[in-house]
Each structure stands twice: as structure tokens, then as C-alpha cells.
Amino acid sequence: MPIIKSAKKAMKRSIVLNKRNTEFKLRMKMAIKKFLKNVTKGETVTQEDLNKIYKYVDKCAKVGVLKKKTAARKKARVARLFTAKKK
């Protein structure tokens, strides 16, 4: 346990940020998982589904959960599946 007052505050802050980051990451992962499940099952995937994934990935990149290029890679892979499914 931290002894110094600033260390106590930093610990509280890190717990809050960890919770926030986990929520962002979970939303993103669940959206991608749902999208991939629909693609593999052969169900229709809409542009709205793709936009939702973009929204979550961009938010994760903005907050700092994902790095910029990692976010771009995730979006590109999902977009490639989307266009392949459209054809």
C-alpha cells in the first residue's frame, strides 16, 4: 500500500482509469466478435455494424487504449471482410 499522499491519489486514479480502459476495450471486442460471428454464419452485415466498430475502435485510439496503427489495422481487417461479404 502506498504511504505518501500523492501515491495514494495516483493509485485511486489508476484504478479508475483501468476500469474505464477495460470498458472501452470490452465494447470494442464485443462489437468485433459479433460482426465476425455474423460474417462466418453468412448473415447479412450492414454498414451500420461497420460504423459501430469504427466508432469503438476510434474511441479506444483517442483515449489511448489502442495505438494509432493498431486501430487502423483493426479497422482495415474488418473493412476487408465487409467488402468481401458484399460481393
Residue pLDDT, tens place only, 20-67: 999 999 999 999 999 999 999 988 899 999 999 999 999 999 999 999
Q: Evaluate if pTM is beyond 0.75.
A: yes
Give the C-alpha separation, 83 to 41, whole Å: 16
pLDDT at 87 over 90: no
pLDDT at 85 over 90: no
